[in-house]
Chains A and B, each alone.
Chain A
Amino acid sequence: MIVFRDKNWEIRDYVLLSWIGPGLLAIIASLMVFILLGWLDYQNNNARIVADLERKSQVAARRISAEILLGEHGSLVPVIELLNQELAIKNIHIENDSSVCGSPAPETCSHRSGEDMLFFRKTPHIDTVSYVVITHPMRSFWSSLNLYLLLWSALPVFLTLVTGLILQRLFLRQFVIDPINSLVPAAERQASIPDHWPLEIKAIARNLAESFEAREQSVFAMLAKGVVHDIKTFLHSLLIATELVREQQADPEKRVVRLESLFRSCSMNLPKIKRIIELTLDGSREIPIRAINADLAPTICGAIEANLDHAKANSVKISVFLPDGEITVAHDPVQLERALSNLIKNGIEALPSGDSSSKRQVHISVTNEDNGLFKTSVEDTGSGIDCESTNLFKPTRSKKAHGAGLGLYVTEKIVRGHGGYIRVTRSEDLGGANFSFYLPKVSPVDGRQA
C-alpha cells in the first residue's frame, strides 16, 4: 500500500483500489465455479448418455435377437441399418466373443474406446452368448466448458462486485465525504451535526469544535496580553506626563495647560480602555448568564438609553416598536442589554456619514413568534451586510475602522447563552441590515450560563 501513498488520488480512487483484491478473488472463484459446473455438466451428460445407451441397447438387442431367431429368413443387416437410423447412434454390431465382458458373461458391460463408449448387451433368447454392441461418442470435458456456462458462472460474482462497488461509493459519498466536507462549518457551530453522520465523524466534529473554541480562548488570552501591554504603556505615558507636570511647578500656567491636556487624554482614553478590557474579558471567558423571568421592555429601553448620546452625536433617529402587554422572557437583563446595546451601536456606526438625517434611522422591534419565541430585531438604514458571510460572529472580524471585532462575537455568545440564536438578513423596511435574535418565551433552565 505504501507505493500508493504518493498518488494524488481521491477517496473514490482508493476505494476502487481496495476492490482489486476482492475482484481478483472473485475472478478466481468464478473460474473455479466455471470449472466445477463444467465438470458436473460433463458427468451429468455422460451419465445421461450411458442411461440412454442402456435403453437403446435393450431395444437393439431385442430386435436383433428376433432377427437371429428367424435364422436365414431374418434380415439382420437392414434391421441393424434401421436401428442405426431410429436410435440415432454411431454404430451397432454383433460381438460373438462371449468373453468381451468377462466371465461369467454379464447382461451388460461398457468400455471406453477413445472418445467413444461401447455398450455391450447380451442378446436375449439366444442360446449362444453374443453381445449387441452399440457405440456412441462421449462428451469431452473441454466441450462442457462453453461460453454459456462461463457467463452463468461469472454473472453472480460480477453483479455482486459491481453492486457492492456502486453501493459503497454511494454510502461513502453520503456518510463520509459529505460529512467531512461539512465538518468545518459544524465544528464552528455554523451548522448542526446531522444525526445520520457516522459516530466517528460526529466525535471528530465535536473534538474540532472544542479545539476551535480552545484556540479562540488562546487568541483572546494573547489579545488580553496585548491590551495589558497597551494599558501599561498608557499608564507609563501618564506617569511621565504627571512627572512633567510636577516639574512645571515653576511655571503655573504651563502646569495648568499640561494638567488640562492630561485630563482630556485620560477622559478620552479611559472609556475606550474600559470597553476593550470588558470585551476582551468577555471574549476570552465564559459569560455568566443569570436569567430571571422578566419583562424585556426595560432591558430594551436600557440599551436604547445607553446609545442615545451616541445616536445624537451621529444624528441617528432611534425608533422602537413593542407588542401590547408584557414581553416575559427568561433573561439576564444586564447581559442581554449589553448584547442589544452592541447591535444598536453597530447599527448607528453602520450608517454612512453623508446621508441626510431623515434617512439615518435605527429601528428596534419585538414580535411574538408562533413557534414559542420572541424575535427582537435591530434594523438600520445603512448599506446592509453580506448575509451569506459566515464570519460575522467571529472575533476580530470587524468591518469598522477602529473596531475590535468583538461586539458581534460577544453578542452571539450572550444570545446563545440564553438558549437562543441570532440571524442576519437584509431589512425589508429600512433597506439596511437586520440583526434578529430569538429567545424562548420560557427559558429551559434558569440561570443557565453561556
Chain B
Amino acid sequence: MKQLRNIGAMALSFVCLGSAHAATKPEATPTQVKLFFIEALDPKDTTSSQRFQQEYELAISKGKEFTSSQLKNCGFELTSTTYFYGASDPIQAKEQAERATKEGAWLLIGPRRSNHYLILAKGAPEIPSISLMASSDEIGELGNIHLTLSPANSEMAKAAAEEAAGRIPKDQSKTYVAVVSSDCLACKNFEKHFDKIASAIGLKKAASLSVVGDQPDVTKLSEELKRSHPAFILLPNYSIVTTHLISAIHSMLPNAFFVGGDGWGDPQFGFVQNGLEVGDAEGFTVRGFPPMRAGLSTFKLGKNLMISPQFSNLESSSALGILSIFNQTAELLCKTKPKTNAEFVKAFQKHGPRLFSPPWGTSIYNLERRNIVFLKSSGVGR
C-alpha cells in the first residue's frame, strides 16, 4: 500500500509536472510597444544630414535587435516608426506628434533641438517622450512625462564657466563677450545660466551680441569685439552658426578663445570640427555626451554592441542616445510589464525620470587644430 501510495504520489507529481510544462509551452502574443522617432533634418547642416539620418536609422535597428530577446522574454515586442521633417519648419514636430498619437504611440523619441521638442510636447501632451539632446530649462517644466537625455543647460553652463575661468591666465582680464543666435531657445537659455554662474565666480560679461540666421553678418560685431578685448567669446550656438562666427571672428582677432554650449556637434558630425574655415582657432565646448565607447560602456546593450562586428558604423551622440533609450525602455517594460498604453504612461511617470535621466554628465571637448577632441568628463550630472 505504501508502495502504491508512493507510485500514486509519483504519478501525481508527473501529472503536475506535465501540466506545468504544458502551461508554459504555448507562447503568448507579445504586447506591441510602438515607438515613434521624430527628428528634424536640414540638408545644409552636417549634424542633420543624410549621413546622420542613415546612422540614426541604423541605431534604431540595432536598438531593436539587441533588445528583442530580452523583451520577448518579458512579453513585449518593439515596433518603430520614424518621421523626419525639415528643420526650418518646426511646427511639423507638433503635427508629427499628433499623427503618432493617432497611430497609438507608446513612446516618442523627440527632436534634439529644444524648441522643436517643446513644440512636439504640445502635439502629444499625454504621450511619454524623450529628447536626445534638448537642454533648455523649459524641458524640466514639462513634467515627468517629457524627459531629455541631455543635462540641463544650467549644469552644462556651470561646467563651461568653471572650465573657462580656470583657463584664463592670471594676468588677463576676466571678461567675456557672448554672441548668441537670437532665434535659438537653448542658446539663449545657456547664455542666461552661464552669465549667472560666471558672475558668481568672478567673470565679467563685457557685451552680449545677438545674431540671426545661419550666416549672420559679423561686421556689426567686430567693433564691439575689438573694443572689449575679451578673454574668451561665448558661442553657445549650433554648429553651422558657430563655424561661421569662429571663422569670421578668428580672422579679425586671431588670439580669440572660444567657449561653446551644447551645440557645436560631436567629433564626427558638425561644422566646427574639420571645418577648414576655423583655421587654428582654439576653444572648448561642453556636451552632455561622452565619446561613443565611453558612453556605450555604461549600459548593457552598449556593452553587447561593442563586441558585435557592426559597432564601428555608429559614431554620433544621437546614436548613443537612441541605444541608451532602447536599453532603458526594455528595462522599464520588463520591470513594470504594462499591458496597455495607459499602464505604460503610469510606469513612465513613475520610473522614467530615474531611468532616462541624463546618464553621462557633462563632458568637455577641446577645439584643437580643426578637431573637437574629448578632454574630460566634468562629473557634473549623474
Residues of B within 8 A of A82 (CB): 183, 212-213
Which of A59, A73, A125 has the largest count of B CB atoms less than 10 A from its CB? A73
Q: Is A81 an interface residue (CB 8 A)?
A: yes
Q: Do the beta carbons of A63 and B185 come within 8 Å of each other?
A: no
Flag B114-150 by CB within 8 Å of A: 1 or 0 each. Answer: 0100110010000000000000101000000000000
Q: Is A70 an interface residue (CB 8 A)?
A: yes
Q: Is A430 an interface residue (CB 8 A)?
A: no
Residues of B within 8 A of A125 (CB): 91, 94-95
Residues of B within 8 A of A75 (CB): 182-185, 188
Q: Is B90 an interface residue (CB 8 A)?
A: yes
Q: Do the beta carbons of A85 and B213 come within 8 Å of each other?
A: yes
Flag A290-334 by CB within 8 Å of B: 1 or 0 each. Answer: 000000000000000000000000000000000000000000000
Q: Is B210 an interface residue (CB 8 A)?
A: yes
Residues of B within 8 A of A73 (CB): 115, 118, 136, 138, 185
Q: Do the beta carbons of A66 and B119 come within 8 Å of each other?
A: yes
Flag A62-84 by CB within 8 Å of B: 1 or 0 each. Answer: 11011001100111011101100
Q: Is B89 an interface residue (CB 8 A)?
A: yes
Q: Please measure, in the bound complex, the distance between the C-alpha atom of A62 and the C-alpha atom of B138, giving whole angstroms.
A: 21
Q: Is A86 an interface residue (CB 8 A)?
A: yes
A62-B91 contact given A75-B183, A75-B188, A79-B183, CB 8 Å threshold: yes
Residues of B within 8 A of A74 (CB): 115, 185
Q: Do the beta carbons of A70 and B212 come within 8 Å of each other?
A: no
Residues of B within 8 A of A405 (CB): none
Residues B184-234 near A (CB distance < 8 A): 184-185, 188, 210, 212-213
Q: Is A137 an interface residue (CB 8 A)?
A: no
Q: Do the beta carbons of A81 and B212 come within 8 Å of each other?
A: yes
Q: Do the beta carbons of B210 and A70 come within 8 Å of each other?
A: no
Q: Do the beta carbons of A66 and B212 come within 8 Å of each other?
A: no
Q: Please measure, in the bound complex, the distance between the C-alpha atom of A79 and the C-alpha atom of B115, giving whole angstroms.
A: 12
Residues of A within 8 A of B90 (CB): 63, 66
Minimum CB–CB distance from B360 to chain A (whole Å) comes to 26
Q: Is A124 an interface residue (CB 8 A)?
A: yes
Closest to B94 in A: A125
From the candidates A59, A78, A86, name the one contacting B89 in the complex (CB within 8 A).
A59
A85-B212 contact given A69-B119, A73-B185, A78-B183, CB 8 Å threshold: yes
Q: Please measure, in the bound complex, the distance between the C-alpha atom of A21 and the C-alpha atom of B262, giving whole angstroms.
A: 80
Minimum CB–CB distance from A40 to chain B (whole Å) comes to 35
Residues of A within 8 A of B188 (CB): 75
Minimum CB–CB distance from B286 to chain A (whole Å) comes to 22
Q: Please measure, in the bound complex, the distance between the C-alpha atom of A127 and the C-alpha atom of B66, giving whole angstroms.
A: 44
Minimum CB–CB distance from A71 to chain B (whole Å) comes to 9
From the candidates A59, A63, A78, A124, name the one contacting B212 in the complex (CB within 8 A).
A78
Q: Please measure, in the bound complex, the distance between the C-alpha atom of A65 and the C-alpha atom of B88, giving whole angstroms.
A: 12
Q: Please measure, in the bound complex, the distance between the C-alpha atom of A82 and the C-alpha atom of B90, giving whole angstroms.
A: 14
Size class of the contact patch on chain B: 20 to 34
Q: Please measure, in the bound complex, the distance between the C-alpha atom of A86 and the C-alpha atom of B213, giving whole angstroms.
A: 8
Residues of B within 8 A of A59 (CB): 88-89
Residues B147-188 near A (CB distance < 8 A): 181-185, 188
Q: Please measure, in the bound complex, the distance between the C-alpha atom of A66 and the C-alpha atom of B87, giving whole angstroms.
A: 12
A65-B91 contact given A73-B136, A85-B213, CB 8 Å threshold: yes
Minimum CB–CB distance from B40 to chain A (whole Å) comes to 11
Q: Please measure, in the bound complex, the distance between the C-alpha atom of A59 and the C-alpha atom of B89, giving whole angstroms.
A: 7
Minimum CB–CB distance from A45 to chain B (whole Å) comes to 27
Residues of B within 8 A of A85 (CB): 212-213
Q: Please measure, in the bound complex, the distance between the C-alpha atom of A191 and the C-alpha atom of B183, giving whole angstroms.
A: 97
Q: Please measure, in the bound complex, the distance between the C-alpha atom of A74 and the C-alpha atom of B114, giving whole angstroms.
A: 11
Residues of A within 8 A of B95 (CB): 125
Minimum CB–CB distance from B124 to chain A (whole Å) comes to 13
Q: Please measure, in the bound complex, the distance between the C-alpha atom of A73 and the C-alpha atom of B213, giving whole angstroms.
A: 18
Closest to B98 in A: A125
Q: Do the beta carbons of B89 and A70 come within 8 Å of each other?
A: no
Q: Do the beta carbons of B119 and A78 come within 8 Å of each other?
A: no
Minimum CB–CB distance from A65 to chain B (whole Å) comes to 5
Minimum CB–CB distance from A92 to chain B (whole Å) comes to 13
Minimum CB–CB distance from A63 to chain B (whole Å) comes to 7
Q: Please measure, in the bound complex, the distance between the C-alpha atom of A85 and the C-alpha atom of B94, giving whole angstroms.
A: 25
Closest to B215 in A: A85
Minimum CB–CB distance from B208 to chain A (whole Å) comes to 14
Q: Please measure, in the bound complex, the distance between the C-alpha atom of A125 and the C-alpha atom of B259, giving whole angstroms.
A: 37
Closest to B93 in A: A66
Q: Do the beta carbons of A70 and B91 come within 8 Å of each other?
A: no
Closest to A124 in B: B91
From the candidates B89, B122, B136, name the one contacting A69 in the complex (CB within 8 A).
B122
Closest to B137 in A: A73
Q: Please measure, in the bound complex, the distance between the C-alpha atom of A79 and the C-alpha atom of B188, giving whole angstroms.
A: 14
Q: Do the beta carbons of B88 and A70 come within 8 Å of each other?
A: no
Q: Please measure, in the bound complex, the distance between the C-alpha atom of A74 and the C-alpha atom of B116, giving whole angstroms.
A: 11
Minimum CB–CB distance from B241 to chain A (whole Å) comes to 12
Q: Please measure, in the bound complex, the distance between the C-alpha atom of A63 and the C-alpha atom of B86, giving whole angstroms.
A: 11
Q: Do the beta carbons of A69 and B185 come within 8 Å of each other?
A: no
Closest to B114 in A: A73
From the candidates B88, B118, B182, name the one contacting A78 in the complex (CB within 8 A).
B182
Q: Please measure, in the bound complex, the distance between the C-alpha atom of A65 and the C-alpha atom of B119, giving whole angstroms.
A: 10
Q: Please measure, in the bound complex, the distance between the C-alpha atom of A81 and the C-alpha atom of B138, giving whole angstroms.
A: 24
Minimum CB–CB distance from A5 to chain B (whole Å) comes to 77
Q: Do the beta carbons of B91 and A78 come within 8 Å of each other?
A: no
Which of B89, B118, B212, B213 has the largest count of A CB atoms less than 10 A from its CB? B212
A62-B118 contact given A78-B183, A78-B212, CB 8 Å threshold: no
Sample of 20 A–B contacts (CB below 8 Å): A62-B91, A63-B90, A66-B90, A66-B91, A66-B115, A69-B94, A69-B119, A70-B115, A70-B118, A73-B118, A73-B138, A75-B182, A75-B188, A78-B182, A78-B210, A78-B212, A81-B212, A82-B212, A85-B213, A125-B95
B residues neighboring A (CB under 8 Å): 88-95, 115, 118-119, 122, 136, 138, 181-185, 188, 210, 212-213
Across chains A and B, which 7 residue pairs bring their CB atoms closest together, nearest first?
Answer: A78-B182, A66-B90, A78-B183, A66-B91, A62-B91, A78-B212, A75-B183
5 more A-B residue pairs beyond the given contacts A70-B115, A75-B184, A78-B182, with a C-beta to C-beta distance below 8 A: A69-B122, A77-B182, A78-B183, A78-B212, A82-B213
